[in-house]
Amino acid sequence: MTKDTTPEAFVPKGSPALAYRDHVESVFGLKDPMVIAITSDGERGIYTPGALQLVHRLTQELTTVEGVDPDAITSLATEKDIRGTSDGMLVEPFWESPPQTSAETQAIRERVEQFPLMLGTLVARDGSATLLIAETLPDADDEQVYHALLALTEQVKAQGLQEGWLAEDIGLYVAGQGAVSGYLSAYIAADASRLNPIAALIITVVLLLAFRTLAGTLLPNLIVLGTVAVGLGSMAAAGVPMYVITNSLPVILIGIAVCDSIHIFTQYYEELANNPELSGREAVARAMSAMWRPVTLTTLTTVAGFIGLSLAAALPPMQSYGIFAAIGILAAWAWTLLLLPALLSLFRPRVKPAPETHKATHGIATKIMTASGGIVARYPSQILMATTLLLVIAVGGATRVEFNDQRIHSFQEQEPLRVADGIINQRFDGTYYLDVAIETPQPEDLFLPENLRRIEALQTWMEQREGIYNTTSIVDYIKQMHQALHEGDPAYHAIPDDPALIAQYFLLYSASGDPDDFEEEIDYDYRQAHVRGQLREDNFQNVEPIVLSLKQYLDEEFNSPAIRGNSTGAIDLSYSWLKPLAGNTAAGMALALILVLVSSTLFFRSLVLGLIATLPVAFSVLMVFAIMGYTGIWIGIGTSMFAAIAIGLGVDFAIHTIDRLRTLIRDQHLEYGEAVAILFPSTGRALLFNLLALALGFGVLMTSKVPPLQDFGLLVAIAVLTSFVISMTSMTALIGVLRPRALFAKREKSTTRLSTPLVQQGFAHIGLLKLLATLSLFAFAIPSVADDSNAGLQIMQAVYERPEGITQRANLTLELTDRRGRKRVQQTIVLRKYFGKDKRQVLYYLEPTNVRDTAFLTYDYADPATEDEQWLYLPALRKTRRISASDRGDYFLGTDLTYEEMKRQNKISLKDWRFTHVGESEVDGIKTVTVEGTPITEQVADELGYGRARWYIDPATNTIRRSENFDIQGNPLKTALFNDIREIDGIWTVHEITVDNHKTGHQTHLQITDVAYEIPLDDDSFEERTLRRGVRQ
Classify 933 as helix, strand or coil.
strand
Contact between residue 251 and residue 717 where contact means Cβ atoms under 8 Å apart: no
Please indicate, yes or no, whether residues 884 and 941 belong to a single structural domain of this protein. Answer: yes
pLDDT of residue 775: 33
**Four-residue CA torsion sign, 278, 280, 285, 290:** positive
Please indicate, yes or no, whether residues 866 and 988 belong to a single structural domain of this protein. Answer: yes
1033 lies in a domain?
Answer: no
pLDDT of residue 603: 84
Does residue 726 surpass a pLDDT of 70?
yes
Please indicate, yes or no, whether residues 275 and 375 belong to a single structural domain of this protein. Answer: yes
**Where does a domain end: 700, 730, 755?**
755
Distance of CA 991 to the CA centre of its chain: 41
Please indicate, yes or no, whether residues 574 and 584 belong to a single structural domain of this protein. Answer: no
Q: How far apart are CA 988 and CA 976, in angstroms?
A: 18
DSSP category for residue 248: G
Please indicate, yes or no, whether residues 81 and 209 belong to a single structural domain of this protein. Answer: no
769 lies in a domain?
Answer: no
% of the chain beyond a pLDDT of 70: 89
Cα-based distances in Å from 280 to 212, 348, 699, 766: 18, 5, 35, 16
1008 lies in a domain?
Answer: yes
Q: How far apart are CA 632 and CA 162, in angstroms?
A: 47
662 lies in a domain?
Answer: yes
Cα-based distances in Å from 17 to 312, 512, 568, 569, 778: 21, 38, 7, 9, 46
Please indicate, yes or no, whether residues 737 and 594 belong to a single structural domain of this protein. Answer: yes
Please indicate, yes or no, whether residues 348 and 454 belong to a single structural domain of this protein. Answer: no
Mean pLDDT on 605-613: 91
Does residue 513 surpass a pLDDT of 90?
no
pLDDT of residue 271: 83
Mean pLDDT on 36-65: 91
Q: Which residues contact 21 (CB under 8 A, 6 or more apart)?
A: 568, 569, 572, 573
Mean pLDDT on 101-108: 92
Does residue 823 surpass a pLDDT of 50?
yes
Q: What is the mean pLDDT of the chain?
A: 83
If DSSP states are collapsed to H, E and C, what string results for 76-133?
Answer: CCCCEEEEEECCEEEEEECCCCCCCCHHHHHHHHHHHHCCHHHECCCECCCCCEEEEE
| Cross-strand bridge partners of residue 882 | 871
Please indicate, yes or no, whether residues 214 and 171 belong to a single structural domain of this protein. Answer: no
303 lies in a domain?
Answer: yes
Contact between residue 558 and residue 565 where contact means Cβ atoms under 8 Å apart: yes
Classify 191 as helix, strand or coil.
helix
Give residue-wise pLDDT tens across range 535-580: 999 888 889 999 999 999 999 999 999 999 999 988 888 888 788 7
For residue 924, give the amino acid letter: D
Please indicate, yes or no, whether residues 269 and 383 belong to a single structural domain of this protein. Answer: yes
Please indicate, yes or no, whether residues 606 and 746 belong to a single structural domain of this protein. Answer: yes
pLDDT of residue 351: 56
Give residue-wise pLDDT tens across range 451-467: 999 999 999 999 999 99
784 lies in a domain?
Answer: no
Q: Give the number of domains in the chain.
A: 4
For residue 172, give the amino acid letter: L
Mean pLDDT on 109-137: 91
| Cross-strand bridge partners of residue 85 | 88
CA angle in degrees (0–180, nearest 5) for 24-26-31: 90
Q: How far apart are CA 496 and CA 493, in angstroms?
A: 9
Preceding amide of 848 cis, omega within 30: yes
Q: Which residues contact 371 (CB under 8 A, 6 or more apart)?
A: none
Contact between residue 477 and residue 521 where contact means Cβ atoms under 8 Å apart: yes
Q: Which of 656, 661, 715, 710 is nearest to 686 (CA)?
A: 656
CATH code of residue 904: 2.50.20.10
Cα-based distances in Å from 886 to 292, 816, 860, 935, 967: 66, 25, 14, 14, 16
pLDDT of residue 9: 77
Q: How far apart are CA 823 and CA 683, in angstroms?
A: 79
pLDDT of residue 969: 59
Q: How far apart are CA 171 and CA 39, in angstroms?
A: 5
**Where does a domain end: 129, 153, 175?**
175
pLDDT of residue 768: 37
378 lies in a domain?
Answer: yes
Distance of CA 934 to the CA centre of its chain: 26
Contact between residue 404 and residue 711 where contact means Cβ atoms under 8 Å apart: no
Q: Which of 792, 796, 794 is nearest to 916 (CA)?
A: 792
Q: How far apart are CA 983 and CA 830, in angstroms?
A: 18
> What's the maximum distance between 2 C-alpha atoms anywhere in the chain?
112
pLDDT of residue 140: 80
Mark 650-664 as b/e (b = at least 16 C-beta within 10 Å): bbbbbbbbbbbbbbb
Does residue 772 surpass a pLDDT of 70?
no
Segments forming the whole domain that contains residue 900? 797-1024
At 749, the pLDDT band (50, 70, 90 cuts) reads very low
Cα-based distances in Å from 81 to 102, 107, 260, 492, 509: 20, 12, 70, 17, 11
Q: How far apart are CA 453 and CA 464, in angstroms?
A: 17
pLDDT of residue 764: 40
pTM: 0.62
Please indicate, yes or no, whether residues 532 and 633 belong to a single structural domain of this protein. Answer: no
Contact between residue 787 and residue 365 where contact means Cβ atoms under 8 Å apart: no
DSSP category for residue 554: I
Does residue 643 surpass a pLDDT of 50?
yes
Which of 242-251, 262-271, 974-983 has the highest average model confidence (pLDDT)? 974-983
782 lies in a domain?
Answer: no
**Where does a domain end: 698, 726, 755?**
755
Q: How far apart are CA 54 and CA 42, in angstroms?
A: 15
Cα-based distances in Å from 532 to 15, 579, 694: 22, 22, 47
CA angle in degrees (0–180, nearest 5) for 478-481-484: 150
Does residue 200 surpass a pLDDT of 90?
no
Please indicate, yes or no, whether residues 614 and 575 belong to a single structural domain of this protein. Answer: no
